[in-house]
Structures are given as C-alpha cells and as structure tokens.
Amino acid sequence: MEQVVRTAVLVSGSGTNLQALIDAADPRVELDLVLSDRFDAGGLARAISAGIDTVVEAWGGDRDSFTERVVGRLLDRGIELVVLAGFMRILGKEAVEAFSGRIVNIHPSLLPSFPGSNAVSAALAHGVKVTGVTVHLVDEIVDHGPILAQEAVPVVDGDSVESLHKRIQAVEHRLYPRVVGELADRIAHGRSAVGL
Ligand code: GRF
C-alpha cells in the first residue's frame, strides 16, 4: 500500500501553488493542514474549498516565539512534511531542527541568484536573459538550503515583473507538486531527500 505523508502547507498570499498541490491530488501527500500568518491570505479560502483544515498563527513577539507557536501547531497535528508556498515569514532554528530535511520552499529564481522577496524584479533589473524556479530544503539561512530541483525560465524582450512572474508561476505549478510528491516518497521510505 502507498504510504501517505501528513503534510502542512504554509501560505501568506494568494496560494496558487497550494492550489496546484490540491489539484495534483498526489496519493503520497495528505494535505492535512494549511497554516497562514495572515487572516486575509487567499490560500485559506482555497484550503476551505478543498476541505482542508486551516489555522492562522498571526505574527507577534519575536521570530523565536512565532516559530515555537507554529512548530507547536504542526507537531500537535502529527505533521511530517512542511511545504512553504509563498509564506512570507522566516522560521527560526526550532523549525529547522524539528523538521530537519522535511521543510521545503519554492523560490522564483535560480538560486543562489536573487534570494529574497523581490527575486523577479531583481532578475529583471539585472538584465539576466534566463531566470527560473528553485525548490529547496529549508535551512537556517533564507533561500539557501540544499537544492532539490530547478527549472529555467527565459526572460523575453518587453517583459514586466508581472509577465515574467506569470511565466515563472506556470513552471512553479508544474514543478512543485512533482518535487513535493518525490520528497513525500523519500520521507515515507526513510530516505534522504538530497539527490532527488
Ligand atoms: C511564488 O512565486 C513563490 O515562488 C514565492 O511566493 C510566490 C507564492 O505565490 N515563494 P502563490 O501564493 O503560491 O500564488
């Protein structure tokens, strides 16, 4: 029988990557919880429509206390895999330790180029001809951990931040469900995720 991995998706925004994970309906990935730091995150409505439990853990205090509350929520639910999908808060050391090798993030550039929250506009401003998407494990440094997958996206003449981000997101929606499924498979079988 296929082994199922209890998965939480963390969102702050519209949640189109969450939607891609919902639509993929990978039998290895049980979408058990959607957690947001914002009450107005569009991802919460997507989760509710899909019948997934939601929780809001609002930012407050410092990073360590916020991380402690988030980790507590995830451990209480028996979460095994944490998928960051446009989650705009940086989780502290406690999260990386509690879910070592089991927190994954998607970033709209080819890391290590253009880390940070303005990756698409930074790539455009720099004049690169190719940017892309990176899926990586989360460590204690922002947009930094071991890379699981990358895919290039060309920058075309006349691109705006919006048009480029739209093409990047189309790749994200295809890539993220595949890599999350593969990672769940590795977790279910107790194997290392690095070298997917
Ligand atoms: C994505 O572009 C992702 O790469 C970045 O945040 C964005 C989230 O978009 N980390 P959405 O909320 O999934 O639509």
- H-only helix segments in 5-158: 16-24, 42-49, 63-76, 93-98, 119-126
73 Cα to the center of ligand 1, angstroms: 22
Q: Whose alpha carbon is nearest atom 14 of ligand 1?
A: 16
| The pLDDT value given to residue 195 | 54
Side chain identity, residue 94? E
Alpha-carbon distance of 193 to 84, in angstroms, equals 16
The 10s digit of each residue's pLDDT in 49-71 is 999 999 999 998 999 999 999 99
Which pLDDT does position 1 carry in this prediction?
55
Q: What is the pLDDT of residues 73-120, one digit of tens each?
A: 999 999 999 999 999 999 999 999 999 999 999 999 999 999 999 999
Q: Which residues line ligand 1 (CB under 6 A)?
A: 11, 13-17, 85-86, 106-108, 169, 172
The beta-strand segments (E) located in the chain are 5-11, 29-36, 53-56, 81-84, 103-107, 130-137, 147-154
Q: Which residues are catalytic?
A: 107
**pTM for the whole thing?**
0.96
